[in-house]
Chain A
Amino acid sequence: MPRGGGWRPGARWARDDACTRGAVEAEIAALPAHRQPSIRELGRRSEAAEHPFRRMPDGDACVSEQSPVVKAQGRRPLVLVDVVGRRQEVAAACPAALALGIGVGMAATHARVLVSDLDVRPADREADAHLLERLALRAVRSWTPVASVSGHDGLWLDLTGVAHLFGDEERLCRRIVAFCRRAGFTARVAVADTPGAAHAIARYGTEPISLVPPVQTAEALLPLPLAALRVPNDALTAARRFGLERIGDLISMPRGPLARRLGLVTVERLDEALGRTPEPIVPVVDEAPPAVERRLLEPIGAAEQIGQVMADLLDELVELLRARGLGARALQFACDRVDGAEQKVSIGTSRPNRDPKHLLRLLSMRIERLDPGLGLEKFALTATHTEPLGATSLATILAGDAQAVDVPKLVDTLAGRAGRDALFRIGSVESHVPERAVARAAPLARPDGWPAWRRPARLLARPELLAQVVALLPDQPPRRFEWRGQIYRVANADGPERIHGEWWRSKNEVWGVRDYFCLEDVSGQRFWVFRRGDGVDAATGNLSWWLHGVFG
């Protein structure tokens, strides 16, 4: 007890059930993220209550303060929003968002009100469909020859005669789930007699992996809600009005009135799910890339011989590409060595191409990267990336016009020697700040020009500070300056050209100003210099002088 008799009822040191700070913190940490009390609720006095609209932090202006959820998980709950009709709806939500009470189909504004620091992003259905298609291709390549996309969120795999290759059905399912987890997806798998039943049980079943034994499909389907049958929305509404909620309610009903009330589709879906009518899967087709192969009786190792094999293979591949109407964007040349090691070289082209001469020139630049060792005996040439390439019209050439210059061919040739990053064009960017007005573009781009303000031929990588500058404020050019240890006396000058900082980029540029001058010294050298600041307001810059470029 402290001295001076400072006892008061409820004092912390006087409590019997002394709960330590650590115990309380552990208890709080055990709560789900959205139920953890804020610092304010805990009664800690260190925190001053802030007016919610007074301060806006940098970056995202919508986020006022990080909630306990964010602190616990390190990221904000994420929902995807899609436009349905005239309103924005939540199309998908992450588990954290679902735990906070957000559901799929809820209005986006409603979700925003429920959770203040929600990470809302637009849904991209096309990208989803593309990803699903790639997953289906992956399934065709590694699991089963018959697979297809089902709906906008699932895959159908036909496991007939396949499961034993992976052990049994359950092990195959576990493998699929593990693969999806590695790829970043949460998967639910159901195996049933019919595609319809598998579709329903995977989405509305209780287990992440559910295996329905053969001929027990009907029993498994009975407790599931009607929505599992892929019936249209108006049929669902009608069924709800009749008090039909589960599939089990439908099975016992007479089929004639059912079809009249809920539509023929409902009955068809029910029959498909129960296996009374067939529902074929249209599998995705995995097209093999065009490839040709050659095996030699005797191993070869000389560069000319390898070049000859390349030329022969290319001729065959080009015929293959022409028959399919394709042009190669990327080629891979793989050789097997006598000792079993594989050697690979690849080339890329900037436009789809099937000109054997051009492709051979690109490929033969790579011969020196092959290590033949004791000899190479098997060669394969694959067009790993192809694009459609039709015939081109020669009308203008026949009419006597000059042939257009083939820039992509030149780019390919040069990129083969120097690397793809070495070639570029310079395009314009909408910015008045000189160093930001230019940006590198792809070698085949057609960039636009710049406004006709006077600009130097060479720009220093970063402006260099001038010393001993004599200039009148606020807007006179320098009379003399010192740069790289040499003194220049100015004979003529143009300026100033005032360029303001881009306030939307950073705080430091909000008031920043550069006044650019074109100076000519007595010997005729022309420089581009600037002064930081407008010479009146100290916030615009510190009035230092910099050299930024040289005119010719």
Chain B
Amino acid sequence: MLTVPAQADRLAELRSKVDAVTERNVDHGVLAFGIDAVDDRLAAGGLAVGGMHEVAGASTSLADDAAATLFIAGVAARFVAASTGQALWATTRFDLYAPGLEQAGLRPADVLYAELRDDNALLALIEDAVRDGSPAVVIGEVRRASMVATRRLQLAAAARGVPVILFRRWRKLGREPFEEPSAASTRWRVGCAPSTPLRVAGVGRSRWAVDLVRQRGGEACSWIVEGCDATGRLAVPAPARHRAAAQAGTSQHLAA
């Protein structure tokens, strides 16, 4: 007859053995954004490597869609840089412009693209890729993904330690992509914000309004960040000295 503490130890030991066999609950680490203001608010301290993350544009507009694309490209570039693998980017209708993605850090030799005929084929393909285990990150652009599909992806990602980013595109009906429930670890909504004002006429570094809509074990949150640099890193905008100065740059150009 075992004592209670010994029983607990034995149980914990068995649990870890079962985890090792089933490849679940293995901690694959996280990818931090490198910005304290963001990382502190994330429960895991960054994006979990063994997890599925969802990103959507803030509105139906193409500009928000492109902002979400670049946000994903930057995250993917940092996942690629942190491992030896490559990125797989699966779409159903290919309209990505690779030179633009390269400027977010995703070099053309590091991305393998796939063009599928529909969402179901795409979800099956990215699950295959995750189960294979060799990509550094798998990105899928879908309009519709059921709870079952996202759960499968989340489990596969947790088992193999391959991060999955699901880009939820807006449907034609104009229905919010995050209305559907999902098993994702984090859900992000990215939209455009007025760019960093410059002292001269011109368009400054792009800024995005990033909302963390949902995360496991944490609170929702939102930030204004500066867009990706050439290695895919975001930045926190420096505070303007006072609001009138920030406005002046805009009106100055309009008058020019």
B and A form one assembly: yes
Binding site for B on A (CB under 8 A): 402-407, 409-411, 413-414, 417-418, 422-428, 434, 437-438, 443, 446-450, 452-461, 479, 491-494, 518-520, 522-527, 549-552
Are A458 and B203 in touch, CB under 8 angstroms?
no
Kindly state the separation between the CA atoms of A406 and B207 in the bound complex, as whole angstroms.
37
Determine which of A405, A549, A552 lies in contact with B192 in the assembled complex, contact meaning CB atoms within 8 Å: A552
- Contacts A437-B99, A449-B108 given; indicate if A492 touches B204 (C-beta within 8 A): yes
Q: Mark B53-89, 1 if CB is under 8 A from A, else 0.
A: 0000000011111111111010000000000111010
Kindly state the separation between the CA atoms of A443 and B116 in the bound complex, as whole angstroms.
15
Shortest distance from the beta carbon of A524 to any chain B beta carbon, whole Å: 4
Shortest distance from the beta carbon of B203 to any chain A beta carbon, whole Å: 5
Are B98 and A423 in touch, CB under 8 angstroms?
no
Closest residue of chain A to B71 (Cβ to Cβ) is A552
Binding site for A on B (CB under 8 A): 61-71, 73, 84-86, 88, 95-104, 107-109, 111-116, 121, 124-125, 128-129, 132, 134-135, 190, 192-195, 198, 201-204, 206-208, 227, 250, 253-254
Closest residue of chain B to A412 (Cβ to Cβ) is B132
- Contacts A494-B203, A550-B66 given; indicate if A520 touches B99 (C-beta within 8 A): no
Are A410 and B129 in touch, CB under 8 angstroms?
yes
Are A551 and B206 in touch, CB under 8 angstroms?
yes
Of A443, A447, A457, A527, most B-chain CB atoms within 10 Å:
A457
Kindly state the separation between the CA atoms of A407 and B87 in the bound complex, as whole angstroms.
11
Are B84 and A405 in touch, CB under 8 angstroms?
yes
Shortest distance from the beta carbon of B97 to any chain A beta carbon, whole Å: 4
Are B112 and A423 in touch, CB under 8 angstroms?
yes
Kindly state the separation between the CA atoms of A491 and B84 in the bound complex, as whole angstroms.
42
- Contacts A458-B69, A492-B204 given; indicate if A418 touches B121 (C-beta within 8 A): yes
Are A459 and B97 in touch, CB under 8 angstroms?
yes
Chain B neighbourhood of A453, CB < 8 A: 99
Q: 7 A-B contacts, Cβ less than 8 Å apart? A: A406-B134, A410-B134, A410-B135, A426-B111, A456-B100, A524-B195, A552-B206
Are A492 and B203 in touch, CB under 8 angstroms?
yes
Shortest distance from the beta carbon of A117 to any chain B beta carbon, whole Å: 44
Are B100 and A418 in touch, CB under 8 angstroms?
no
Of A418, A518, A527, most B-chain CB atoms within 10 Å:
A418
Kindly state the separation between the CA atoms of A438 and B94 in the bound complex, as whole angstroms.
13
Are A413 and B132 in touch, CB under 8 angstroms?
yes
Closest residue of chain A to B193 (Cβ to Cβ) is A524
Are A409 and B61 in touch, CB under 8 angstroms?
no
Kindly state the separation between the CA atoms of A424 and B113 in the bound complex, as whole angstroms.
5
Determine which of B70, B73, B86 lies in contact with A405 in the assembled complex, contact meaning CB atoms within 8 Å: B86
Kindly state the separation between the CA atoms of A519 and B195 in the bound complex, as whole angstroms.
11
Are B253 and A491 in touch, CB under 8 angstroms?
yes
Determine which of B68, B115, B132, B202 lies in contact with A552 in the assembled complex, contact meaning CB atoms within 8 Å: B68
Are A524 and B207 in touch, CB under 8 angstroms?
yes
Are A457 and B134 in touch, CB under 8 angstroms?
no
Chain A neighbourhood of B71, CB < 8 A: 552
Determine which of A410, A427, A520 lies in contact with B132 in the assembled complex, contact meaning CB atoms within 8 Å: A410
Chain A neighbourhood of B100, CB < 8 A: 455-459, 549, 551
Chain A neighbourhood of B73, CB < 8 A: 457
Chain A neighbourhood of B208, CB < 8 A: 552
Determine which of A411, A455, A520 lies in contact with B203 in the assembled complex, contact meaning CB atoms within 8 Å: A520
Are B62 and A450 in touch, CB under 8 angstroms?
no
Are A492 and B132 in touch, CB under 8 angstroms?
no
Closest residue of chain A to B108 (Cβ to Cβ) is A447
Are B114 and A422 in touch, CB under 8 angstroms?
yes
Are A522 and B194 in touch, CB under 8 angstroms?
yes
Determine which of A427, A457, A479 lies in contact with B70 in the assembled complex, contact meaning CB atoms within 8 Å: A457
Kindly state the separation between the CA atoms of A526 and B67 in the bound complex, as whole angstroms.
9
Kindly state the separation between the CA atoms of A423 and B116 in the bound complex, as whole angstroms.
9
Chain B neighbourhood of A527, CB < 8 A: 63
Are B113 and A423 in touch, CB under 8 angstroms?
yes
Chain B neighbourhood of A402, CB < 8 A: 84
Closest residue of chain A to B122 (Cβ to Cβ) is A418
Shortest distance from the beta carbon of A430 to any chain B beta carbon, whole Å: 13
Kindly state the separation between the CA atoms of A404 and B83 in the bound complex, as whole angstroms.
10
Shortest distance from the beta carbon of B128 to any chain A beta carbon, whole Å: 6
Are B66 and A491 in touch, CB under 8 angstroms?
no
Closest residue of chain B to A407 (Cβ to Cβ) is B86
Are A520 and B195 in touch, CB under 8 angstroms?
yes
Chain A neighbourhood of B64, CB < 8 A: 525
Shortest distance from the beta carbon of A52 to any chain B beta carbon, whole Å: 47
Kindly state the separation between the CA atoms of A455 and B69 in the bound complex, as whole angstroms.
13
Chain A neighbourhood of B134, CB < 8 A: 405-407, 409-410
Q: Top 10 A-B pairs ranked by shortest CB distance? A: A525-B63, A552-B70, A552-B67, A426-B98, A459-B97, A455-B99, A524-B194, A552-B66, A450-B99, A457-B100
Shortest distance from the beta carbon of B237 to any chain A beta carbon, whole Å: 12
Determine which of A434, A458, A523 lies in contact with B194 in the assembled complex, contact meaning CB atoms within 8 Å: A523
Closest residue of chain A to B195 (Cβ to Cβ) is A520
- Contacts A446-B109, A491-B250 given; indicate if A418 touches B95 (C-beta within 8 A): no
Chain A neighbourhood of B124, CB < 8 A: 417
Chain A neighbourhood of B102, CB < 8 A: 449-450
Chain B neighbourhood of A552, CB < 8 A: 63, 66-71, 190, 192, 206, 208, 227
Extra contacts, 7 of them, besides A449-B108, A461-B95, A550-B63 (Cβ < 8 A), are A410-B129, A422-B116, A450-B98, A491-B253, A524-B63, A549-B97, A552-B63
Chain B neighbourhood of A491, CB < 8 A: 194, 250, 253-254
Determine which of B65, B132, B202 lies in contact with A550 in the assembled complex, contact meaning CB atoms within 8 Å: B65
Chain B neighbourhood of A449, CB < 8 A: 99, 102, 107-108
Chain A neighbourhood of B98, CB < 8 A: 426, 438, 450
Kindly state the separation between the CA atoms of A108 and B107 in the bound complex, as whole angstroms.
48
Kindly state the separation between the CA atoms of A519 and B202 in the bound complex, as whole angstroms.
9
Shortest distance from the beta carbon of B165 to any chain A beta carbon, whole Å: 15
Kindly state the separation between the CA atoms of A406 and B128 in the bound complex, as whole angstroms.
15
Shortest distance from the beta carbon of A329 to any chain B beta carbon, whole Å: 20
Shortest distance from the beta carbon of A65 to any chain B beta carbon, whole Å: 45
Are A550 and B86 in touch, CB under 8 angstroms?
no
Kindly state the separation between the CA atoms of A123 and B71 in the bound complex, as whole angstroms.
54
Kindly state the separation between the CA atoms of A452 and B107 in the bound complex, as whole angstroms.
12
Are B104 and A457 in touch, CB under 8 angstroms?
yes
Are B66 and A458 in touch, CB under 8 angstroms?
yes
Chain B neighbourhood of A452, CB < 8 A: 103
Are A447 and B109 in touch, CB under 8 angstroms?
yes
Shortest distance from the beta carbon of B96 to any chain A beta carbon, whole Å: 6
Closest residue of chain A to B113 (Cβ to Cβ) is A424
Kindly state the separation between the CA atoms of A458 and B84 in the bound complex, as whole angstroms.
27
Chain A neighbourhood of B207, CB < 8 A: 524
Kindly state the separation between the CA atoms of A552 and B104 in the bound complex, as whole angstroms.
10
Kindly state the separation between the CA atoms of A422 and B116 in the bound complex, as whole angstroms.
6
